[in-house]
Amino acid sequence: MPGGHPLILHSSALAEAIADEWRAIAPGEAFRTAELPLTQMAGTQIERVALDRDQIIGGLMAYGESDLLCYRASGGLGREQDTLFDPVLEVFSTRYGVSPPVTRSLLPLSVGADLHEVLTRILTGFDDAALTCAAICAPATGSLILAIGLAEGWIESAQASLMASVEERYQMQQWGEDDALLQEIERSGVDIAEAVRFLALSREQS
């Protein structure tokens, strides 16, 4: 690992998948770290998450204070957001007994003590693999709630990617497609899917 720590894995399934990443690179051939997503995530778990969980949780909590699902537009975009986001917030509220606030204003929302406590408790209860998954999914989606749902398995990767890119896709419907933006949306979707795959493999023993 870059920080000098050995790559020790507790899941044989993850170890085999990481070996497959390296086997796919021809001997002596140059490669990019983007071609080794599972290796990167394992390194992040070992050298960052496991060594400073409090810092990782603190960084994730910032996404809870500006969560994508809680800020809505007006008009057609707002209606699309309502359709996609409201069911997720309802699931979260049912599971945890607290309803995240929603606004159509540009002014920042107050998370509230109850929601802050719930989010902190969820993240503190995550093992290192789940916290690593959430640390990738929160910036990829702009949402701590989506990151939690992905790590806990009650949101699918494709569903999260759709919600994360709803504004960009709406704008392209109005003004035409943007190849660079489409590539960015695709990259984010891949990051989310790989993070969920990493977590699933981490929990397999064979």
pLDDT single digits (tens) 28-80 = 787 777 889 999 999 999 999 999 999 999 999 999 999 999 999 999 999 99
pLDDT in tens, 85-136: 999 999 999 999 999 999 999 888 888 999 999 999 999 999 999 999 999 9
Q: Name the residue ranges covered by the structural domains of the chain.
A: 52-202
In this predicted structure, what is the pLDDT of residue 68? 97
H/E run at residue 145: helix 144-152
- Cα dihedral 23, 26, 31, 37 in deg (nearest 10): -20
Check pLDDT > 70 for residue 3: no
In this predicted structure, what is the pLDDT of residue 2? 65
Q: Which of these, 152, 150, 161, 197, lies nearest to 38 by C-alpha position?
A: 197
Q: Which of these, 103, 75, 77, 76, lies nearest to 89 by C-alpha position?
A: 103
pLDDT in tens, 140-165: 999 999 999 999 999 999 999 999 99
In this predicted structure, what is the pLDDT of residue 4? 64
In this predicted structure, what is the pLDDT of residue 147? 98
In this predicted structure, what is the pLDDT of residue 163? 98
Instruction: Kindly state which CATH superfamily the domain 52-202 is placed in.
Output: ATP12 ATPase (1.10.3580.10)
Measure the CA–CA gap between 162 and 165, rounded to whole angstroms.
Answer: 5
Assessment of whether the complete model's pTM goes beyond 0.85: yes
